[in-house]
Amino acid sequence: MQLEVPEGYRPQDAGSLPAYLAEQPELRSALGGAPEAWTVEEVGDGNLNLVFKVRGPAGGLAVKQALPYVRLVGESWPLPLSRAHYEHLALSQEARHAPGLVPAVRHYDETLALIAMELLEPHIILRQGMIAGTRYPRFVEDITTFTANTLFHTSDLALTAAAKKDLVAAFAGNSALCKITEDLIFTEPYMIADNNRWTSPQLDPYAARLREDGDLKVAISRLKLRFLGDAQALIHGDLHTGSIMVTESDTRVIDPEFAFMGPMGFDLGALVANLLLNYFSQDGHEERPGARDDYRAWVLETTRGVWASFGEKFLALWRGAAAAGDGYPAALFQGPLGAARLDQERKAYLDRLYRDTLGFAAAKMIRRIVGLAHNIDLEWIEDPERRARCEARALTLAREMMVNPGAFPSIGDVAEAAAELRGWVPKLG
């Protein structure tokens, strides 16, 4: 396999990185002292790229470099270096619209496909914190500020048509990353594919049913069409709990390499899906039956809060001065009658977005159970019977959310259905 890389590109390692960083005066002074005194640690938990934590006497940096292939798989799965360009572009848009909620970028090298950014410490990945049963009191507030602002300000509600089209053009080249999503989320879980895997034989009948479910295949195809064609706003594109780093008082969204102009519900759905998957996985992590009851309640409360608080913030932005986009021209909604009609439509817009969110959330839950990439909330449950029970409950809820969203008029109904499903003992294969 011939992997194309530009002249001057070379993957960094712990040996080469300090000399490179020392050539950048700002980075050198951020780390402080001499390069020989810096420590470099390669982070192991990334799937696609190289990530290093570099520490010096004055401070630290996180350095992320794209490889011309998928790190986890190797050279047999090529992936363009340009993903670093889109990650950098998305980070700068996000920093503008949601300041303080992404790591600050210190340096970007297009040839090396390398981003040096603020080292988040003592932050941990939210997913890991939630598996351990830790509460994050700022999470709902921060993540809804992030989603409401990044989505609103990059949509036709805030931008002129020309500015919006510039953004569409700027991200249109990120098609290789989009294709991963199109295949792994919207297609392969519903057919026989080499990439698929699930807890077998326990979930064999569940996986088989997905492949025979015509209603589900229509529903996932409609969602795929939205993902392919609806350039609603700049979406992060991979907003699961592994892309969020937290302390109890700070929240940062990392890793927007999948960013492009797509449907808003995809980001919101990713959040809801990963919270629900964590909810179902708690049965596999609790120290004794019932020990995590309070925590489970917090996870569901957080799920409700994410939608409710997002909706409030999004509405407030739309009612405010930033709503200067070409969508819903003010000239059409003059006077008290017009204003009332527009406000009605704002709520209807949010209702449609809520439905999208349920559908995309369901798609994300299903792919994490029968597709290629699973999540550790469920994977870390060692006993396969126990894991399969959690997974079967999540699959059952997801199928309903996707095919029958009308059964869940509010996010509270989703939370209630999840809680009810916990009492169900699935029949396993």
**124 vs 322, beta carbon nearer ligand ADP:** 124
Q: For residue 55, what are its two tokens?
A: 């520490």
Closest by CA to 327, choosing from 160, 165, 166, 163, is 160
Query: Residue 343 is which amino acid?
Result: D
**199 vs 251, beta carbon nearer ligand ADP:** 251
Find the binding residues for ligand ADP in span 57-86 (CB under 6 A): 62, 64
| By the rule CB under 5 A, 255 interacts with Mg ion | yes
Report which residue's Cβ sits closest to ligand ADP.
46
Sequence-ordered list of residues with C-beta below 8 angstroms from that of 216, at least 6 positions apart, any chain: 190, 210, 399, 402, 403
| By the rule CB under 6 A, 45 interacts with ligand ADP | yes
Closest by CA to 302, choosing from 122, 120, 142, is 142
How far apart are alpha carbons 87 and 174 in whole angstroms? 10
SS3 328: coil
Residue 258 CB, shortest distance to ligand ADP, in Å, is 9
Answer with the entry of ligand ADP, Mg ion, none that 254 interacts with (C-beta below 5 to 8 A by kind).
Answer: ligand ADP
Find the binding residues for Mg ion in span 362-421 (CB under 5 A): none
- The residues with which 128 forms a beta bridge, in sequence order, are none
Per-residue contact track with Mg ion, 40 to 59, x per CB under 5 A? --------x-----------
Contact 67, 11 (CB under 8 A): yes
With CB under 6 A as the contact rule, the residue among 51, 54, 178, 180 that binds ligand ADP is 51
How far apart are alpha carbons 257 and 275 in whole angstroms? 21
**134 vs 396, beta carbon nearer ligand ADP:** 134
| By the rule CB under 6 A, 119 interacts with ligand ADP | yes
Which span (115-123, 132-140, 193-201, 327-335) binds ligand ADP, by CB under 6 A? 115-123
The C-alpha angle with vertex 28 and arms to 26 and 31, in degrees rounded to 5, equals 110
Contact 60, 53 (CB under 8 A): yes
Answer with the entry of Mg ion, ligand ADP, none that 377 interacts with (C-beta below 5 to 8 A by kind).
Answer: none
Answer with the entry of ligand ADP, Mg ion, none that 92 interacts with (C-beta below 5 to 8 A by kind).
Answer: none
How far apart are alpha carbons 108 and 88 in whole angstroms? 7
Answer with the entry of Mg ion, ligand ADP, none that 272 interacts with (C-beta below 5 to 8 A by kind).
Answer: none
Binding site for ligand ADP (CB under 6 A): 43, 45-49, 51, 62, 64, 103, 117-120, 125, 254-255, 257
